[in-house]
Amino acid sequence: MFKRLLNECVIDLTLRPEGALLIKSGLAQMSGVDMAWVKVPRNGGWEVYLPGSSLKGTIRSHAERIARTLNESAACNPLGGRRDKLRSCGSALDVMNRDKKETELTTPLVYQHSCPICRLFGNTWIMGRLATEDAYVMGDAPALQHRDGVGIDRFTGGASRGAKFELEVITGGEFKTALHLQNFELWQLGLLGFVLQDLREGLVRMGSGKSRGLGKVVAQIDKITLHYIGARKKMLEDDHLNLMGVGALFEQAKDYGMASDDQVRLEKAAAVKEESAFSELRQTVSFSFDAFPWQAVAAKWVNYVQTLPSDPLKQYRSGR
């Protein structure tokens, strides 16, 4: 499928830590701090940054929580073991692959069988639709501080004696990044919209030490840009905006279990902030967060998650 790019939504955002934030480096540090920040060489020195993979993990777990509030079985459990009825799609597909040797697990089949969260974020069998860029310091630089941490006893949950260590945290500062949602169905953009809303309200925590009160981040959504590539229909048509998901743009959408009515026609109103050059091949329109037609895609997501057919991986998830 997805060898050809058909649609893309790019979300430019600024992340501002509120309070202390720690994204741990996996590398041993010369400075002697036990838990140090990830850093990159930039502007002639070493700078802290937020790796795109951390941001993606944060967005995925928040999307899982949102999905489960609407439908318990809408998100598999990435850490679920053999007895978990929502054991991860990746493991369930491994079992299916062993059991049904004659069936080739093609990309359309894997997409159709995976839970909604895996269809958006991927699993060990398919790539996700969302890519997150690393977030770099822009504008105000954050302040680095060292703090004493106290080890938490794994059994009692209390402080464990003698296990003091040093944490490196940042406070303040601004990080800029972009999310790329490619070849998406409209419901996927709808779900992402709910996560973005919560990020704007500071309801999503990132990085280490969340239980110690670390990790509060507030996002400002700077711009939302939609691209259609090679679509026959115009994104802007007279006084209307045609929102089209990949289900409406891709001839083999049915093989993937996508709805072919993956489109909405909306009044254009004042929603369109900026129109870039339209060519036969690529159409581009940008919006502010508030002007974007979130309601239309949110409705697609809510309807999608509430009318999910029964789990095609059910027999492969548990008990084996």
CB of 116 to Zn ion, least distance (A): 8
- Segment contacting Zn ion (CB under 5 A): 109-117, 135-143, 151-159, 309-317? 109-117
Contacts of 199 (CB under 8 A, 6+ apart): 13, 62, 217, 218, 219
Binding positions for Zn ion, 216-275, rule CB under 5 A: none
Three-state SS letters, 30-44: CCCCCECECEEEECC
- Distance CA(23)–CA(263), nearest Å, equals 39
Compute CA distances 268 → 239, 252, 265, 280, 287, whole Å: 5, 29, 9, 21, 12
How crowded is residue 131: how many other Cβ atoms within 10 Å of its Cβ? Answer: 15
Given the complex with Zn ion, which of 216 and 317 has the nearer CB atom? 317
Residue 89 binding Zn ion, by CB under 5 A:
yes
Q: Which of 115, 137, 206, 285 binds Zn ion (CB under 5 A)?
A: 115
- Segment contacting Zn ion (CB under 5 A): 75-83, 154-162, 264-272, 310-318? 75-83
Polymer length in residues for the chain: 320
Given the complex with Zn ion, which of 130 and 214 has the nearer CB atom? 130
- Segment contacting Zn ion (CB under 5 A): 114-122, 149-157, 170-178, 289-297? 114-122
What letter represents residue 61's amino acid?
A: S
- Distance CA(86)–CA(16), nearest Å, equals 35
Q: Which of 63, 118, 221, 246 binds Zn ion (CB under 5 A)?
A: 118
What letter represents residue 299's amino acid?
A: A
Q: Which of 50, 74, 76, 199 binds Zn ion (CB under 5 A)?
A: 76
Binding positions for Zn ion, 129-168, rule CB under 5 A: none
- Segment contacting Zn ion (CB under 5 A): 7-15, 46-54, 76-84, 152-160? 76-84
Given the complex with Zn ion, which of 175 and 256 has the nearer CB atom? 256
Helix (H) or strand (E) holding 242: strand 240-244
CB of 69 to Zn ion, least distance (A): 17
Beta strands in the chain (DSSP E): 7-17, 20-21, 39-42, 45-50, 130-132, 135-137, 143-152, 159-171, 175-182, 217-229, 236-237, 240-244, 263-267, 274-275, 282-287
Given the complex with Zn ion, which of 87 and 216 has the nearer CB atom? 87
CB of 122 to Zn ion, least distance (A): 9
DSSP-derived secondary structure for 142-184: PEEEEEEEEEEPTTTSSEEEEEEEEEEEEES--EEEEEEEES-
Place of tokens 């280490």: 208
At residue 241, the 3 state secondary structure works out as strand
**Total number of residues that touch Zn ion (CB under 5 A):** 4
CB of 5 to Zn ion, least distance (A): 24
Nearest to 180 by CA among 11, 3, 4: 11
- Segment contacting Zn ion (CB under 5 A): 33-41, 88-96, 197-205, 215-223? 88-96
Residues 172-201: x where in contact with Zn ion by CB under 5 A, - otherwise, as a string: ------------------------------
- Distance CA(219)–CA(180), nearest Å, equals 16
Given the complex with Zn ion, which of 115 and 219 has the nearer CB atom? 115
Given the complex with Zn ion, which of 10 and 89 has the nearer CB atom? 89
- Segment contacting Zn ion (CB under 5 A): 28-36, 85-93, 243-251, 308-316? 85-93
Residue 96 binding Zn ion, by CB under 5 A:
no
Instruction: Provide the β-strand partners of residue 42.
Output: 45
Residues near Zn ion (CB under 5 A) are 76, 89, 115, 118
